[in-house]
Amino acid sequence: AQRVTQPEKLLSVFKGAPVELKCNYSYSGSPELFWYVQYSRQRLQLLLRHISRESIKGFTADLNKGETSFHLKKPFAQEEDSAMYYCALSFPYGNNRLAFGKGNQVVVIP
Partner 1 sequence: GAVVSQHPSRVICKSGTSVKIECRSLDFQATTMFWYRQFPKQSLMLMATSNEGSKATYEQGVEKDKFLINHASLTLSTLTVTSAHPEDSSFYICSARDSGRTTTYEQYFGPGTRLTVT
Q: Does 57 bind partner 1 (CB under 8 A)?
A: no
Q: How far apart are CA 24 and CA 76, in angstroms?
A: 23
CB 4 within 8 A of CB 101: yes
Q: How many residues does the structure list for the chain?
A: 110
**Can residue 32 be called a binding residue for partner 1 (CB under 8 A)?**
yes
CA-nearest of 21, 17, 5 to 106 is: 21
Q: Which of 75/92 has CB closer to partner 1?
A: 92
User: Are the beta carbons of 33 and 24 closer than 8 angstroms?
Assistant: no
| CA distance linking residue 107 with residue 78, whole number of Å | 10
Q: Is 22 in the site for partner 1 (CB under 8 A)?
A: no
Size of the site for partner 1 (CB under 8 A): 23
51 scored as a contact of partner 1 (CB under 8 A): yes
Piece in contact with partner 1 (CB under 8 A), picked from 15-23, 42-50, 56-64, 71-79: 42-50
Interacting residues with partner 1 (CB under 8 A): 32, 34, 36, 42-46, 49, 51, 86, 90, 94-103, 105
